Structure 1
Amino acid sequence: MKRQLYLAAGWLSVGAGAIGIFLPILPTVPFMILAAFCFARSSPALEAKLLNHPRYGPHLVAWREKGVVGRRAKWSATSAFIASALIGFLTLSLPWSLLPAAVGIVCGTWLWRRPES
């Protein structure tokens, strides 16, 4: 049962990461990191496929081995946080309009404190 839950969570994370390719509010790589974590506990073949992916594999391996995030990824995420905050300010009413900015500040602070590759 536990294995199936990890497998389902892995697929949900891959799906959320795929949606994140097109939406600035959803980051892709953190969902792929979560998917790799879940697949490691449920399907070694899917984990290997994700770790060997030409686009996401190097980021996942760098995170897993050294806990590092590339500078380009940091700037991309920061740009997405800013875009999300601006969209929130323009489309939401108070206090909800502050939520994307608050999430961006918290996540951005954490992200920029990670070592770089």
Structure 2
Amino acid sequence: MSTLQRAVFIAIAWVSFALGLIGVFVPLMPTTCFMLLAVWAASRGSPRFAIWIREHPRFGPAVVAWEGERAIPRHAKWLATAMLAFSMLVLAFTVSLLWLKLSLIAGLSLIGAWIFTRPEPVAAP
């Protein structure tokens, strides 16, 4: 891998990590998907950074559960569902075009259904 490619992966990892960190504090901004992107990019550009994310007490468990089992913790499912419901409520009252409003709400509903059909991580022995 060239130095430029490695630098690009590291930049993607850090930007994704920063966006995920912002997502902890901003209600409608996702955290886990940015952390997953960060660990993917870091694995290619900075394996040490990827290990650090996986071992992080706040972000690591969800990343490891997804990587290992394609599983989403129960608390994350409930939080995602609450945020999706809130987003649908906002859309219902702010979007004026009926077809757009219904399309967006249907799309968010499908995302919610997909999230809830993911397994939960197997408890560690």
User: TM-score with structure 1 length normalisation?
Assistant: 0.86
Partner Cα distance (2:32, 2:103) in 1: 22
Query: Counterparts in 2 of 1:85-100, with a 5 A limit?
Result: 85-94=88-97, 95-98=99-102, 100=104
Find out whether 1:115 has 2:111 as its counterpart: no
Larger radius of gyration: 2
- Residue-by-residue CA offset, 1:24-66 (whole Å, 9 max, x unaligned): 3222111111111111011111111111111111111111111
* CA root-mean-square deviation: 1.8
* Superposed displacement of residue 19, structure 1: 2.4
Structure 2: gaps spanning 5 or more residues: none
Partner Cα distance (1:102, 1:9) in 2: 31
User: May I ask how many residue pairs the two structures share in their alignment?
Assistant: 117
- The change in CA–CA distance for 1:93 and 1:4 in structure 2 (over 3 A counts) is farther
Structure 1: gaps spanning 5 or more residues: none
Percent sequence identity over aligned pairs:
38
Residue of structure 2 equivalent to 1:26? 29
